[in-house]
């Protein structure tokens, strides 16, 4: 597994987002950022994860923390996904997979003996200075959003 490690600078990106426009990570300097990578819109695990983060968004807002979900899906697909599930997190599209590779989450996977490339469900907590504060790899969805919230509270209490 490659990708940035705790304490290193988070790789910047400028990518298309849901609702049109572009999201640039560096635009959020001075705020914490939760960047969660997920395989595909509207699949059961990805939907549950996005709904969990949406449910906790008011608590992240109090901590001055931005929630960004990223997948290789198109911005149009993100718009449909957000609308269908009333999601309030921002969704970023990395169809070229450059940012997914920079974070080390575009990996070889295997299902039923067939190998293919895909997104490893992962989350990075990025501090106000743009450094990796925490990283979760091979995430299991149940309870994950709460764990990230707890880590964000701990990060803020240590300021």
Given a contact cutoff of 8 angstroms between Cβ atoms, the answer to whether 119 and 43 are in contact is: no
Catalytic (active site) residue 135: no
3-class secondary structure, 57: helix
Q: What CA–CA distances, in Å, run from 132 to 12, 58, 75, 126, 152?
A: 12, 22, 26, 5, 12
17, 46, 126, 149: the active-site residue: 46
- What's the alpha-carbon Rg for the chain, to the nearest Å? 15
For the beta carbon of residue 84, count every other beta carbon within 10 angstroms.
11
Sign of CA dihedral 62, 41, 35, 145: positive
Place of tokens 């974070």: 103
Angstrom distance (rounded) from CA 99 to CA 13? 7
Q: Which residues are catalytic?
A: 46
């Amino acid at each position: 597994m490659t990708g940035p490690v705790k304490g290193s600078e988070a790789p910047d990106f400028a990518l298309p987002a849901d609702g049109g426009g572009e999201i640039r990570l560096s635009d959020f300097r001075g705020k914490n950022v939760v960047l969660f990578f997920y395989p595909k819109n509207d699949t059961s695990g990805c939907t549950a994860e996005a709904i969990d983060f949406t449910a906790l968004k008011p608590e992240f807002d109090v901590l001055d923390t931005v929630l960004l979900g990223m997948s290789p899906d198109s911005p149009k697909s993100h718009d449909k996904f957000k609308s269908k599930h009333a999601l309030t997190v921002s969704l970023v599209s990395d169809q070229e997979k450059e940012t997914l590779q920079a974070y080390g989450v575009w990996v070889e996977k295997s299902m039923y003996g067939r190998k293919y490339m895909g997104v490893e469900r992962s989350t990075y907590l990025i501090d106000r200075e743009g450094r990796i504060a925490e990283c979760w790899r091979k995430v299991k969805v149940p309870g994950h959003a709460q764990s990230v919230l707890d880590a964000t509270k701990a990060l803020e209490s240590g300021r």
